[in-house]
């Protein structure tokens, strides 16, 4: 029984490798035929292949987003400046526009 589990695990690892390398277009003719044969035999493989493509696309988009520089903003200073600008535009006094409840 343990030998069967090892064989199944080995076969599954081989499938994973073929799927991954197939996505990278890194298979020779024999391996490509093996992948086609597996896809024809196993109904779960097309969905797994599609999921791998979606994952790759999502990772590529994430990589592009992370490679773009983020603006350097001092958030606290930006908030204070916005509040001061709004206070100046509204002509408000130093008092809050609404009642302040002190606890």
pLDDT tens-digit series, residues 33-86: 999 999 999 999 999 999 999 999 999 999 998 888 877 778 888 888 888 888
Q: Flag whether pLDDT at 87 surpasses 90.
A: no
| Residue 81 is assigned to a structural domain of this protein | yes
pLDDT at 62: 93
| Residue 43 is assigned to a structural domain of this protein | yes
| Residue 94 is assigned to a structural domain of this protein | no
Position with higher pLDDT, 10 vs 1: 10
Cβ proximity of 34 and 18 under 8 Å: yes
Of the pLDDT bands very low, low, confident and very high (cuts 50, 70, 90), residue 89 is confident
| Residue 100 is assigned to a structural domain of this protein | no
Of the pLDDT bands very low, low, confident and very high (cuts 50, 70, 90), residue 1 is low
| Residue 77 is assigned to a structural domain of this protein | yes
| Residue 102 is assigned to a structural domain of this protein | no
pLDDT at 92: 54
pTM: 0.55
Phi-psi region of 85 (alpha: psi -120 to 50; beta: other; left: phi over 0): alpha
Domain hosting residue 42, numbered range: 2-89
Domain count, the chain: 1
Give the C-alpha separation, 55 to 62, whole Å. 10
pLDDT at 51: 94
| Residue 95 is assigned to a structural domain of this protein | no
């Amino acid at each position: 029984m343990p030998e069967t589990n090892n064989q199944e695990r080995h076969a599954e690892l081989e499938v994973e490798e073929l799927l991954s390398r197939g996505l990278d277009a890194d298979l020779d003719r024999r391996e490509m035929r093996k992948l086609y044969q597996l896809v024809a035999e196993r109904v779960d493989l097309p969905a797994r292949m599609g999921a791998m493509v979606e994952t790759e696309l999502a990772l590529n988009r994430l990589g592009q987003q992370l490679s773009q520089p983020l603006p350097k903003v001092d958030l606290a200073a930006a908030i204070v400046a916005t509040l001061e600008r709004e206070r100046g535009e509204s002509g408000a006094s130093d008092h809050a526009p609404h009642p302040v409840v002190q606890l």
